[in-house]
Amino acid sequence: MTLAALGEPCVLLKLGEIVLKGKNRELFERRLINNIRTALHELDIKVDVRKRHGVIAIFLPAGTTVEQAEAVARRVADVPGLVWIHRAWRVAKDPDTVVKAGLELVRESEQVARKATFAVRSRRRDKRFPLRSNELDRLVGGAINDEYGLPVDLSKPELTLHVEVDRDEVFLFTDGLPGQGGLPVGSSGRALVLMSGGIDSPVAAYRMMRRGLHVDFLHFSGIPFTTSESIYKAYALVRKLDRFQGNSRLWVVPFGKAQQSIRNSGQDRLAVIAQRRLMLKTAEEVAHRIRAAALVTGDALGQVSSQTLANITAQDHAVDLPILRPLVGWDKTEIMAEARRIGTLAISELPDEDCCSLLAPKRAETRAKIEDLKQIEKRLDAEELAVQLADSIQEYTLEGVAPAS
């Protein structure tokens, strides 16, 4: 008897820290389920997402192929808030049916042919089920051993069959995909990421998504003194990151003329920090308009000369909104490894004309004084300039380009 005759294919999702949220847990689960449904819209597969005790089950329509079930599992693996994704089978709550389904599921695995070691791990969420977890382990495991002659190894098995008894059905699965962990996107609010074309800021954006923030992106282009290459990179990075949250928006500021004004101020060593403060002031103005409650940057303490503690303090002083720096304690090797894992590294390493290259003094200030920076900003009328820059932004949606409203 085949698995299809014994039950239905489904995808079982395991939650992470959401289960620790106590009385607020339902709010997080509701947000997570909405995010899962949104992510699966693109697959054009009608699914039924249901909450269970400690898990979420995605039931697939009749006739769903193995390839379609795998596509569903891969897609939801990118949704923050989940720690494991299992392509499973849903069968009746009958010990005989569970044994038959377990035999079929093991028979289809590649480990059978090479006589791999195995173990059965049962979990009985519904205590009304007549067999305890250890009894179910022995029943299913004994049948597998008798049928295929696989040796049992309870400490480090090469193949593990999981049997989970739920309220209305039993789920069986053998392996799974690791999820992103963290919290559901949107459960912590909204933030605005200062997105360069480099390695750090995309990783910072991803880390904040995992903490439940839905982020928009603000890119500063050197136009009219540079080409549009950096915009294309920022756009490609946002598209790559969008699979973790959906509905991403990229805002682009033409920043070249403002940089020229800073360079002409005569404060060569302070130019980089003055530019950074103006970017933050502009970002704060944009954040207020789109109702974002924080700014996010890819700063890492001591990574470059402008990221000293004194300079970071001077940047914080420029705005009232909190500035989140999720990478502040990371080194470059760690950041690059994470960028490689989430798929942004190759894009970030593409050449482009970064706007920061327009202000590259021979020796940058590492201990910027806030009063000196305020004098530069007074001459530039930085507050008004930030409003003008915010007025000049253009929105790039993932479907194309839309004029800023």
Binding positions for ATP: 194-195, 219-220, 276, 298, 307
Q: Which of 253, 279, 274, 276 is nearest to 262 (CA)?
A: 274
Closest to 398 measured CA to CA, from 189, 255, 217: 217
* SS3 of 344-402: CHHHHCCCCCCHHHHCCCCCCCCCCCHHHHHHHHHHHCHHHHHHHHHHCCEEEECCEEE
CA pair distance 135, 177, nearest whole angstrom: 28
Residues within the annotated binding site?
A: 194-195, 219-220, 276, 298, 307
Residue identified by tokens 């207020």 is: 288
* 256 vs 194: CA distance, rounded Å: 16
Token representation of residue 65: 């192929």
Burial class (CB in 10 A: 0-12, 13-18, 19+), 97: middle
Angle between helices 25-40 and 66-76 (to 10 degrees): 130
> Which residues, in sequence order, are bridge partners of residue 402?
395
| Concatenated DSSP letters of 30-44 | HHHHHHHHHHHGGGT
The token pair at 8 is 């239905």
Residue 239 three-state SS: helix
* Nearest in space to 306 (alpha carbons), one of 279, 284, 335, 336: 279
Q: Within 13 Å and on the Cβ side, how many CA atoms surround 399?
A: 4
Q: Is 322 left (phi over 0), alpha (psi -120 to 50) or beta?
A: beta
**Containing H/E element for 11?**
strand 7-15
Q: Which amino acid is at 115?
A: K
